[in-house]
Amino acid sequence: MWGKRKKQNDNYVRFVVDLVGRAEPATLAMSVVAHENLRPILSGFENPKRPDNRMSLDQIIETMQSRMESLQADRINSRRYAWFLIAAHVTRLDRLAEDEVRIRDCAIDNWLKLADAGRYIRHLLAVNVVWKPEEKVWFSDLHDEKDGVRYVLTLSMPRTYRSHPRAHSLAAQHGLLLLP
């Protein structure tokens, strides 16, 4: 059983690494916006106090994938679902990395790509028509590119990754000091 699960996880890790690795910086930046908006959605669906409305992250991913496919003719909403899907897959990989240390480096790599793309968030949100104002509010204090990178490294990326040397290296490249 362990071998089968390990192989499934390895395939999934490759899938998510490829998904994030192939994405344009603008797509990654908007996936960070989706990630921040996904948190309250997950909190609502994964709330044990609401058993009648529960959905697992895997079920949410399946629903989003299906919805995105049904909206292909709608460029705006299909793009939105694509960003949410990337965010959901990154979140699922983070959860796998909690239990499997060998996956953690791949998860950190994804977050470093997202953090580097964070420098575009402010500019992209200023002209973006996909996100509603209440979905952009997380980023209202971003004043420059450095703030976007800082936001991702300190508020979006899982705290356990902040002590990783590569996270500190990326922060230094952007003139930031990253505290664990």
Q: Are 115 and 153 in contact (CB under 8 A)?
A: yes
Q: Is residue 102 part of a domain?
A: yes
Q: Is residue 179 part of a domain?
A: no
Exposure pattern of 126-161 as b/e (b: 16+ CB <10 Å)? Answer: eebebbeeebbebbeebeeeebbbbbbbbebbbeeb
Q: Is residue 114 part of a domain?
A: yes
Q: Is residue 178 part of a domain?
A: no
DSSP H helix total and E strand total for the chain: 9, 0
Q: Is residue 55 part of a domain?
A: yes
Q: Is residue 165 part of a domain?
A: yes
Q: What pLDDT sits at residue 169? A: 96
Q: Is residue 180 part of a domain?
A: no
Question: How does pLDDT run across 140-152, given as a tens digit for each residue?
Answer: 999 999 999 999 9
Domain span holding position 148: 2-173
Question: How does pLDDT run across 119-136, given as a tens digit for each residue?
Answer: 999 999 999 999 999 999
Q: Is residue 74 part of a domain?
A: yes
Measured N-to-C along each axis, helices 101-117 and 2-22 cross at an angle, to the nearest 10 degrees, of: 10
Q: What pLDDT sits at residue 2? A: 43
Q: How many domains does the chain have?
A: 1
This prediction has a pTM of 0.91
